């Protein structure tokens, strides 16, 4: 292997999916990629502490403190400085513009806590997704990792995994089960999948 794909992980909160990625990397489950940067849209995000605990550089770029264009310019500067090849959205709650995404087409993956196309779209994130699933009374939910394109929640689905909903589930209990049985498994797998494709492209460039 000539090189590894250099990965930036975008976060906004606690960073449980980031933790899953870092542990997978340390266990050798992302052999074609290397997480070299964590970008948080919230300076108080605990995900930055998780990154530091694993020796990964982290940077906070507060979305609340600047217009969209300035926010994305600041992100791009950090990505360029770290020579990033791909981006993983791991609980990133700030919307990225179509112009930004176009610069990274085929190089951004996102995880959503449902089986897309169910329970996705505007306002559907975090616990709200699980609340909606329980309100609808479905028997199965899960998680989806997809490539990001200019359309929110659009892009080619890479991986999906179903998770059973149990009769006594609360949104919090269901959220934890989806994380443990789907999100923390799928996200490292999809990261390795895209990283391996990027490395192959580099080797044949």
Positions marked active-site? 112
Asked whether the whole model's pTM tops 0.85, one would answer: yes
The pLDDT assigned to 79 comes to 98
Q: Contacts from 20-28 at CB under 8 Å and sequence distance 24+?
A: 20/183, 20/184, 20/187, 20/188, 21/88, 21/90, 21/187, 21/188, 21/191, 22/50, 22/51, 22/54, 22/56, 24/188, 24/191, 25/188, 26/54
pLDDT tens for 103-146 read: 999 999 999 999 999 998 888 888 999 999 999 999 999 999 99
Regions of the chain where pLDDT drops below 70 = 1-2, 150-155
Taking alpha carbons only, the member of 40, 17, 75 closest to residue 48 is: 40
Pairing mode, strands 5-11 and 140-147: unpaired
């Amino acid at each position: 292997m000539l090189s590894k794909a250099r990965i930036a992980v975008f976060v906004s909160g606690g960073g449980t999916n980031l933790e899953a990625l870092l542990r997978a990397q340390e266990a050798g489950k992302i052999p074609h990629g290397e997480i070299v940067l964590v970008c948080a849209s919230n300076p108080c995000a605990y995900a930055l502490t998780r990154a530091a605990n694993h020796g990964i550089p982290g940077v906070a770029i507060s979305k609340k403190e600047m217009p969209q264009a300035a926010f994305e310019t600041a992100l791009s500067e950090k990505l360029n400085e770290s020579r990033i090849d791909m981006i993983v959205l791991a609980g990133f709650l700030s919307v990225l513009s179509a112009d930004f995404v176009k610069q990274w087409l085929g190089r951004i993956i996102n995880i959503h806590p449902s089986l897309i196309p169910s329970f996705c779209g505007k306002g559907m994130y975090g616990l709200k997704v699980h609340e909606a699933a329980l309100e609808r009374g479905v028997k199965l939910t899960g998680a989806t990792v997809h490539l990001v394109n200019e359309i929110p929640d659009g892009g080619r689905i890479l991986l999906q995994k179903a998770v059973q909903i149990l009769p006594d589930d609360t949104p919090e209990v269901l959220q934890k089960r989806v994380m443990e049985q789907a999100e923390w498994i799928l996200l490292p797998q999809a990261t390795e999948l895209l990283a391996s494709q990027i490395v192959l492209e580099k080797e044949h460039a």
